[in-house]
Structure 1
Amino acid sequence: MDDDQIRLDDTDRQLIGLLRDNARLSVSALAGKLRVSRGTVQNRLARLEHNGVIAGYTVRLRQSAQPNRIRAWMTIVVEGSCAPDVIRALRGDPAVTALHSTNGRWDVVAEISADNLEAFDRALGRIRLIKGIVNTETHILLSTHKV
């Protein structure tokens, strides 16, 4: 089966949702919340990981835990059919924390993060040199307000 055609059922989606909320939940806790056996959870996790649906596990920090970190959105125009190559290059940059395909004037929105202005400037310079990027516009996030 093609990676783009991996079929997820309701239990898979619920399992992924639970992991998004707390990837540290034990297999037993996941099984209890899903009302299935531990073996079912283990088998589904193994299948989702093997098929690349679950690409990895990570830690999310509260913004208040990183008060001086510089964060920004960079909107990017990509030349012709270069989007897959540009996205691949952006995924490899440690300053890029998320990527979003968009419609309209911009092709890609990259979320960027750096420890200080010098590191941020270096990240912008690296990104702007990626082959296939035609134009960028960067917006530093000054504060975040909960809706």
Structure 2
Amino acid sequence: MNDTDRQILALLRDNSRISVTEIAKKVRISRTTAQKRIESMELEGIISGYTIRIKPGVEKNRIRAWMSVAVEGAKASAIVQQLRGEPAVHSLHTTNGKWDLLVELRADNLEIFDQILGRIRRIEGIYNTETSIMLSTRKA
């Protein structure tokens, strides 16, 4: 990857729907070159997909939370597999420090959220959790 590729990635991160023509114009390369560089980064796995970001607050009555998870011994990979099968898990990250995993959870209401917490806390190998409900988002 070179500086041109990094410029293209920055533009795509900012707006994944930007046209190849607009990318070429902003990076000052030909449209064909821009298209080939994007395709190359896709083939190499540098670009693994495109997505959208939803404005915070659009999904009404949606509870979002971060759960920090401490894992017993070497059970992290088994726990990750189980968490990947939980529909309420929106994202899952391994971390270092006091907590082994950071899990983003989503639920429609507090009753369902409480059930989700109970299911996750009963997973064998999880010995401690700490959950914080997201109240507001300042930047998206």
The TM-score with structure 1 as length reference comes to 0.75
Give aligned-pair identity as a percent: 55
Counterparts of 1:20-59 in structure 2, within 5 Å, are 20-59=13-52
CA–CA distance in structure 1, aligned partners of residues 52 and 4 of structure 2: 24
- AA in 1 matched with 2:44: N
2:130 pairs, out of 121, 134, 137, with 137
Would the alpha carbon gap of residues 10 and 106 (structure 1) be closer, same or farther in structure 2, given more than 3 Å must change?
same
CA–CA distance in structure 2, aligned partners of residues 88 and 40 of structure 1: 40
The number of aligned residues is: 139
RMSD of aligned alpha carbons: 2.5
- AA in 1 matched with 2:11: L
CA–CA distance in structure 1, aligned partners of residues 124 and 38 of structure 2: 37
Gap runs ≥5 in structure 2: none
CA–CA distance in structure 1, aligned partners of residues 82 and 52 of structure 2: 23
CA-CA distance at 1:43 after TM superposition: 1.9
Gap runs ≥5 in structure 1: 1-7
CA–CA distance in structure 1, aligned partners of residues 77 and 8 of structure 2: 29
- 1:58-99 per-residue CA deviation (whole Å, 9 max, x = no partner) reads 121111212421010100112333434444544454433333
CA-CA distance at 1:126 after TM superposition: 4.4
